[in-house]
Structures are given as structure tokens and as C-alpha cells.
Structure 1
Amino acid sequence: MLSYAIKRLLLLLPVFFTISIVIFLIIHMVPGDPVDNLVRIGSTPEQKAVIAARYGLDKPLHEQYVIWLTNLLQGDFGNAIVMRRPVADLIAQNIPYSLALSGCALLFSTILGISVGTLAAMYKDSKLDQVVMGGILLGSTLPSFWLGLLLILLFSVQLGWLPVSGARSWEALILPVLTIGLGGTALVARVTRVAMLETAQKDFVLLLHAKGLPRRRIQLRHVLHHALMPVVTILGLRIGWILGGAVTVEYVFARPGLGTLLIKALSQHDYPVMQGCLLMLAIAVMLGTLVGDLVQAAMDPRIRHSMS
């Protein structure tokens, strides 16, 4: 298992370098100049050039990338141009809020999604299954920012039960978690239902029915266990997707976090902050994929042997 984990980790290195290049190039293609946020109106081109040279923005792009990557490998994310603080400090200050939101949303969507998908599979073609499938279709199509606004309008404005924004109490987590988690619930439920229906057609399941085991026990103890393999894959990807999806949700609910920091940096064209935030989101996707693969390997030895 350890050798499998090391091989999977090594496979992420070229992915990391490729993503770092893509992030760097995309950010520098965004229209705008961070220097414009530092100079006064009417400043001369010479004054702008001095500021650009101070932050290394006058160098060719390939030199800027090499400098940024070299510092990054040493744990230095650089300094924010507009905010004038180390990027690592800004990320460390905001990432706990994003992790709390993403972790709660992942837990919510996992528990509810697997439960709902299991019920739909156990009662296939029933009224319950139809209701669940309708809810899955609706949850898959609703944009998260629009759902967030609806939840604010209902539970905060109309009913006054929950705070509209901020992160001062645990109640402020409820609406953002629902906003992110409901979409994930639909995906997990759909995958769980399909996987359980496919597993139920396997020969070993027919043998268990022939032995006279209760149907509920077969479904919950045997079918669900084998059907969790594709669900684990989806959940691994969801780690990164949820953290990335929190960008718009944090902005809608005016919560601190990587999303709010990234949007603020985009408005200021603060290259180091944007690069740091996007790289953290990309790392979250890679780590989520790695965790999903490791869990799958722990559940199915055939996966480990395929890379040995």
C-alpha cells in the first residue's frame, strides 16, 4: 500500500508543474495592470516603470515564472502587490474559513447523498424513487449562487432564522453549507443509485438471495459496500470541486475565505495573490483525487496490484 501511495504521489508532480504554468499564463493574460492600483492618477510612464521594476513585472514572462516557481518550491508565495502583505499570510488567514465550509458541505452531501441514493435503489420504480430522481435532476441544474440567494431570501429575509452573511457563529455556516451541499447531494445520490442497481445484478447477489438472506440485509451490507467504489471516486473529486465552488458562495454570503480573497485580488489585478489562491485550489483537486485513489486501493486490492 505504501509503494502504491508513493507512486500515485510521484504521478502528481508533472501535473503540478503543468498546472502552475497554466495558472501563471492565464493570470498574466487577464486585462489590467496591478501597477495602476498603486500609482496616483496622472502618474508618468517613468513612475509606473519604477514600480513595475520593484515587483519584477518588467521582466519577460518566462523569467517571472522561473522566479515565482523557485520561490514557491521554497515555500515562499511572494508578496501581495496591492495588499502589501505576504501571500502565505493572506492564505493562512483565509483558508480555515474555506476548509470549514468545504468540510461541512462535503460531509453533508456525502451522508445525505448516499442515504438518498440507497433508498432510491432499494425502492426502484416506486414513488419514492421518482421523487428522489426528480430532486436529483433539480439539484443538478440549480446554479449555486442562485440557490444561495433563494436561501437568503427565505431563511434570512423572510423568516429571519439565520444570518445573511459573515462568519461570526456556527449559524452562519448553515446556508452556505446547504448551498454547496445540495448540488453535491444530487451527484452522490445519482452515482450511488446507479452503482447499487448495477451491483444488484451481479452473480454473488443472486447467490445471496438464493441462500434466503433478507433483502434489506443484502442491499445494505453487501450491495452498498461494493457500490461505494465509484462513489469514493466522486467524493475524492468533490473535495476540490467543493473548495472551488466555495468561491462564488463565499462571495454571495460575504464570508471570508479563499474565494473572497481571490475575487478581491482579481479586482485589483494582484498577480501573486491570484496565483497563490488558484494554486491552492488546484492542489486541493489533486489531493482530493489522491485521497480517493488511496481509499479505493484500500477497498480493492486489485487496484494496488495493477500499479505494482
Structure 2
Amino acid sequence: MFSFFLKRLLLLIPVFLAVSMVIFMIVHLVPGDPIDNLVQINSTPEQKAALAAKYGLDKPLYQQYAIWLGKALSGDLGDAIILRRPVADLIALNLPHSLALGTLALAFSTLVGIAAGALAAVYKDSLVDRTTMTMILLGSTVPGFWLGLLLIMLFAVQLGWFPVSGARSWDALVLPVLTIGLGGVALVARVTRVAMMETARKDFVMMLHAKGVPSWQIELRHVLRHALLPVVTILSLRIGWILGGAVTVEFVFARPGLGSLLITSLNQRDYPVVQGSLLMLAIAVMLGTLLGDIVQAAMDPRVRERIK
């Protein structure tokens, strides 16, 4: 198992280098100049050039990338141009809010999605199946930012049950978690339903029915357990997706987090903060994929054999 983990970890190194290069190039291709947000209206070209040299923006892009990557590998993500604080400190200040939101949203979408998918699979082609999947499909087609605004209008403005925005109390998490989690419920439920229906056609399931094992035990103890393998794959990918999806949701609910930090920094063309935030999101996706592979390998030895 350790050799499997080591091989998967080594495979992430070229992926990390490629992703870091893409992030750096995309950020620097965005129109605008962060120096314009620092200088005064009547500043001379010499003053702008001095500021550009101070932050290393006067060097060729390949040199800037090499310097940034070298520092990033040592844990130094540079200093924010506008806020004039270490980027690592800004990320450390905002990351806990995004992690709390993402973890709760992932847990919600996992539990509700698996339960809904299992219910639809057990009662396949029935009214329960059609109703469940129709509601899930409708929920997955609503854009997250629009769903967030609808929830604010209904539960915060009209009913007054939850705060409109901010992160001052635990109940401020409810609406953002629902906004992010409902989209994931649809995906998890569909994968669970299909996987359970395929597993139910296996020979060992027919044998269990022939032995007289109660249907509910077969569905819960055997079919659902074997069907969780593709669900784990989806959930591992959703770890990074949820953090990325929280960008717009945090902005809609005016919550602190990587999303709000990223959008603010994009508007200000603050390259170091944008690069650091995007790099953290990319690392979250890679670590989520690695975690999913490890869980899959622990559940199914055939996964370990394929990579030898």
C-alpha cells in the first residue's frame, strides 16, 4: 500500500509543475496592471518603472515564473502588491472559512446524495424513483449564484431565519452550505443510483437472493457497499471542486474566504495573491484526487494492481 501511495504522490509532481505554469501565464495575460492601483494620477513613468522593479514585474515572464515557483516551493508565496502583506498570511487568514464551508457542503452532498441515489435504486422505475431523480435534476440545473440569491430572499429576507451575509455565527453557514451542497447532491445521487443498479445485476447478488437473505440487507450491506467505489471517485474530485465553487458563493453571501480574496485580488490585478489563491485551489484538487485513489485502493485491491 505504501508503494502505491508513493507512486501516486510522485505522479503529482509533473502535474503540479504544469498547473503552476498555466496559473502563472493566465494571471499575467489578464488585461490590466497592478501598478496602476498603487501610483497616483500624476505619477511619472519613472515612478511606475521603480514600482515595477520593486515587485519584479519588469523582468521577463520566464524569470518571474522561475522566481515565483522557487519561492513557492519553499513556502513563500510573495507579498501582496495592494494589501502589502505576505500572501501566505492572507491565505492562512481566509482558508479556514473556505474549509469550513467546503467540508460541510461536501458532507451534506455526500449524505443526502447517497441516500437519494440508494432510495431511487431500490425503488427503480417507480414513482419514488422518478420523483426523486426529477427533483435532483431540477436542483442541479440551477446556477449556484442564482440559487444563493433565492435562498437569501426566502430564508433571510422574507422569513428572517438566517443572516443575509457575513460569518459571525454558525447559522450564517446554513444557506451557503445548501447553495453549494445541493448541486453536488444531484451528481452523487446519479452515480450512486447507476452503480447500485449495475451491482444488483451481479451473480453474487442473485445468489444472496436465492439463499433467502432479506432484500434490505442485500441492498444496504452488499449492493450499496460495492457501489460506493465510483462514488468515492466522484467525491475525491469534488473536494477541489467545492473549494472552487465556493468562490462565487462566498462573494454572494459576502463571506470571508479564498473566493472573496480571489475576486477582490482579480479586480485589483494583484498577481501574487491571485497566483497563491489559484495554486491553493489546484493543490486541493490534486490532494483530493490522491485521497480518492488511496481510498479506492484500500477498498479494492485491483486498483493497486493496475498501477504496478
TM-score range, shorter chain: over 0.9
Instruction: For 1:1-308, list aligned pairs within 5 A.
Output: 1-308=1-308
Aligned residue for 2:59, secondary structure, equals: coil
* Equivalent-residue separation in structure 2 for 1:307 and 1:293 (angstroms): 11
TM-score, with length taken from structure 2: 0.99
State the AA in 2 paired with 1:131. Answer: T
Partners of 1:131 and 1:169 lie apart in 2 by 35
Aligned-pair CA distance for 1:140: 1.7
Residue 7 of structure 1 aligns to which amino acid in structure 2?
Answer: K
Deviation at 1:135, TM superposition (A): 1.4
Three-state SS of the structure 2 residue aligned to 1:160 is: coil
Deviations 1:114-171 (A, max 9, x none): 0110000000111111111101211221100000000000000000010000001000
State the percentage of identical aligned residues. 73
Shift of 1:2: 0.8
Off by >4 Å, runs of 4+ in structure 1: none
Deviation at 1:212, TM superposition (A): 0.9
Give 1:47 deviation, angstroms: 1.0
How much has 1:43 moved relative to structure 2? 1.2
Between stretches 298-307 and 85-94, larger displacement belongs to 298-307
- CA distance in 2: counterparts of 1:120 and 1:139, whole angstroms: 16
Q: Which runs of 5 or more residues in structure 1 are unaligned?
A: none
Q: Counterpart of 1:187 in structure 2: which amino acid?
A: L
Which amino acid in the other structure matches residue 67 of structure 1? I
Q: CA deviation at 1:42?
A: 1.9
2:72 counterpart letter in structure 1: L
Q: Distance in 2 between matches of 1:183 and 1:131?
A: 17
In structure 2, C-alpha distance between the alignment counterparts of 1:291 and 1:260, rounded to whole Å: 27
Distance apart, 1:38 and its partner CA: 0.4
State the distance in 2 between where 1:154 and 1:125 align.
34
Q: Higher mean Cα deviation, 22-31 or 45-54?
A: 45-54
AA in 2 matched with 1:65: Y
Q: In structure 2, what is the Cα distance between the partners aligned to 1:307 and 1:181?
A: 33
Aligned residues: 308
**TM-score between both structures, scaled by the size of structure 1:** 0.99
Supply the RMSD in Å over aligned alpha carbons.
0.6
Deviation at 1:111, TM superposition (A): 0.5
